[in-house]
Amino acid sequence: MTDQTDSELKGKVAIITGAGRMRGIGRGTAVALAQMGANIVVTGTGRDHASFPQDEKDAGWRDIESTAEQVESFGVKALPLVSNIADQSDVQRMVDATVAEFGRLDIIVNNAAAPKGTDRVSVLDLEADVFRTVMDVKVMGTFFACKSSVAQMIKQGEGGRVVNLSSTMGKSGRANTSAYNAANFAIDGFTQALSKEVGMHNITVNSVCPGLTDTSRLDAMGRTDGWDARVAEVPMRRAGTDEEVGELIAFLCSPRAGYITGESININGGSITER
């Protein structure tokens, strides 16, 4: 293959969770890091192909395998892994498999989240098991992945990067999103705490807070009046892209961001400006 990468992250190894969607922040991040020279472990849940959106079916998309192919087109290596991020032993297996394949782990990007759907109701109508699933995937999954990944980074003694995906919903509450709000507020607080624990090891920990981003996760909204109304709330009058969010994450994983830690960084076209 033609080597189209730069060398900023050459030899580094990154895990990206929730990276199987064709239109998704995980895929955009995997590609951005691959372009910088990193080898990538691409994880996902092993979705049933019957559940794929029509554009993925039309494109012959194969979940994490297709993301891995995009990664490898930049002349780096990819390892696709099916993993249950909400299961601590499975997360440890993911990290162990990464080290067995590549000999190291330098970057963890915690992107996995429960599907948008039955959680988007009022608190009075929200089922406890739905709330728990959102928290298990987003919060417990991030905790498990950080616990295992950071332990490996400390063992290596060469520093590392942790990027946790939060949301503007981690900055401001919105009606009928209580589970998602709670999960993302938790991610931002967890990020701040962990950054203070591991800074001495030259490990940075940041969260990225996207606003309205045009990914398959939001397909349930459609792209008609409801979508247009949400876009109209954004000062830049457009949704973000998975590539734009991926580029920000890649920057935070680079040597250029070595003194940025404990931050929750917005990328939302100006819709939320507070810290």
How much is the pLDDT for 162? 98
Helix (H, G, I), strand (E, B) or coil at 274: coil
Q: Which residue has the tokens 């009046």?
A: 225
Residue 180 is a catalytic residue: yes
**Is residue 39 within 8 Å of 13, Cβ to Cβ?**
yes
pLDDT at 272: 81
pTM of the model: 0.94
Helix (H) or strand (E) holding 38: none
Q: Where are the alpha helices (DSSP H) in 115-177?
A: 128-135, 141-156
φ/ψ of 42, rounded to 5, equals -105, 115
CB neighbour list of residue 38: distance below 8 Å, 6 or more residues apart: 9, 10, 12, 13, 14, 76, 106, 107, 253
User: Could you tell me the CA-to-CA distances from 228 to 42, 169, 198, 221, 234 in Å, in that order?
Assistant: 33, 19, 42, 10, 10
Which positions of the chain have pLDDT values less than 50?
A: 1-3
272 and 172 in contact (C-beta within 8 Å)? yes
Which residues pair with residue 162 across a beta bridge?
108, 205
Q: What is the DSSP letter of 114?
A: P
For residues 102 and 111, what is the distance between their CA atoms, to the nearest angstrom? 21
Which pLDDT does position 224 carry in this prediction?
Answer: 77
Planar angle of CA 157, 194, 128, nearest 5 degrees: 135
Domains and CATH numbers, the chain: 13-267 (3.40.50.720)
Q: What pLDDT does 5 receive?
A: 59
| 3-state SS assignment for residue 247 | helix
Catalytic residue among 61, 180, 185, 190, which? Answer: 180
